[in-house]
Amino acid sequence: MPELQIASRAEIRLPTKELRDDLPFFTKVLGFRLDTIFPADNPEVAVLSGHGLRLRIQKGATEAPGTIRILTDDPDSFAGGQRELTAPNGTRIEIDELNPPVVTPATQHAFVVRRLADQAPWVIGRAGMEYRDLIPTRLGGAMIASHIRVPDGPVPDMVHFHKVGFQLIFCVAGWVDVLYEDQGDIRRIHAGDCFIQPPGIRHKVLHSEGVQVVEIGVPAEHVTEIDHEMTLPTPHYRPDREWDGQRFVHDIGKDGTFHPFRIPGFQARDTSIHANTRGVASVMVARPTGQPAPWTAHDGDILFSFVMSGAMTLEGEGKDPYRLAPGDAFVIPPGMATRYSNPTPDLELLEVTLPGNPRTRPL
């Protein structure tokens, strides 16, 4: 038996004292289309549509006038270039950009240590995922770093994308399956693997088992939008496609090779993210060589690290030393003298720097 199709539509009701005052404003100034008006001899209700909205303006309605936000790709030529207007019925109108540029606030530098043992709360976020904040100050809004746990099994996710400058997903435990726009079929990352999600790439999390990831986003506050039209996987495989100058990266940790690190006494493997973001960021996995590390200072902007395994002591100029263990994270501001001392042989650090590969000076 065929499924019954139910026709429906939604309206937002706004009050008015006189339709004759509001109709010219909504149609001529804001560009809404008049669809319905009644009764004919003395109209009290008008239904208008436009900009993805359907409005029912009704004489004597008891609702407050409210606020309508209209987003357009050319605000300067809309409504005479005004950004805020008030309709005769009292409704506030805000005009804003449809696709505003991503702006990263200037970094407010700080020495930050966040330890798992300090019992920072896990917060339920999007799609049932649990988030633990690794940088409570967000460095003034420049960056967010989250330790995320995903419930086992299918993930109730939708095709979505992020309006962001840089985003990293680094797997530290378990595995997770994800679909990405123009990147073929299902991609699975295990512990030690990572993705970068270029700005605007559509994706969908499918399934996970025992997974924990570290997610980095720049800036800290960024918009996630659902794409109701795209179906993944997409029919085309385009591994060289760029989004805002960045390529998708799926780095497999077990295939990496280690080379001398920016800090003597350590070696690191490069995830290719520096090359594929044109220097926006670099992501390294560092481990000790057995030789003592000297005091150093870096000349970059953001330097974030997460302890994936093992332990070490983080010494900072003018600070008490911190003995760090798996799940701990820290941020070192530029110019601050620090030393990574007494590492265990199994220490592995995830290091994220923006811009990538900062100059480091032994002291």
pLDDT value at 150 more than 90: no
Full set of structural domains in the chain with CATH: 12-97 (3.10.180.10), 102-363 (2.60.120.10)
Residue type for position 199: P
Spatial neighbors of 83 by CB under 8 A, at least 6 apart, are 75, 94, 95, 96
> 284: how many CB neighbours lie within 10 A of its CB?
25
pLDDT value at 54 more than 90: yes
Please state which of the ranges 99-103, 300-304, 328-332, 338-342 shows the lowest mean pLDDT. Answer: 99-103
Residue 269 in 3-state DSSP?
strand
pTM given for the model: 0.87
Residue 337 in 3-state DSSP?
coil
Q: Which of 246, 250, 236, 169 is nearest to 200 (CA)?
A: 246
Confidence label for 256 from pLDDT (cuts 50, 70 and 90):
very high
Instruction: Give the whole-angstrom CA distance, residue 61 versus residue 47.
Output: 13
Please give the order of strands across the beta sheet that includes 266-270.
112-114, 329-331, 302-309, 348-354, 282-288, 266-270, 259-260
Structure tokens that stand for 298 in this block: 């870096």
Please state which of the ranges 46-60, 110-124, 239-253 shows the lowest mean pLDDT. Answer: 110-124
Confidence label for 121 from pLDDT (cuts 50, 70 and 90):
confident
In this prediction, residue 122 carries a pLDDT of: 81
Instruction: Give the whole-angstrom CA distance, residue 149 versus residue 169.
Output: 12
In this prediction, residue 58 carries a pLDDT of: 96
Instruction: Give the whole-angstrom CA distance, residue 123 versus residue 135.
Output: 14
pLDDT value at 1 more than 60: no
Confidence label for 140 from pLDDT (cuts 50, 70 and 90):
very high
pLDDT value at 211 more than 90: yes
In this prediction, residue 3 carries a pLDDT of: 65
Percent share of the chain, pLDDT over 90:
88
In this prediction, residue 209 carries a pLDDT of: 95
In the predicted model, what is the mean pLDDT of residues 266-276?
A: 97
pLDDT, mean over the chain: 94
Element (H, E) at 349: strand 348-354
In the predicted model, what is the mean pLDDT of residues 163-172?
A: 96
Confidence label for 126 from pLDDT (cuts 50, 70 and 90):
low
pLDDT digits (tens, 9 = 90+) for 22-35: 999 999 999 999 99
Cα–Cα distances in angstroms (integers) from residue 120 to residues 116, 151, 211, 216, in the given order: 7, 19, 19, 18
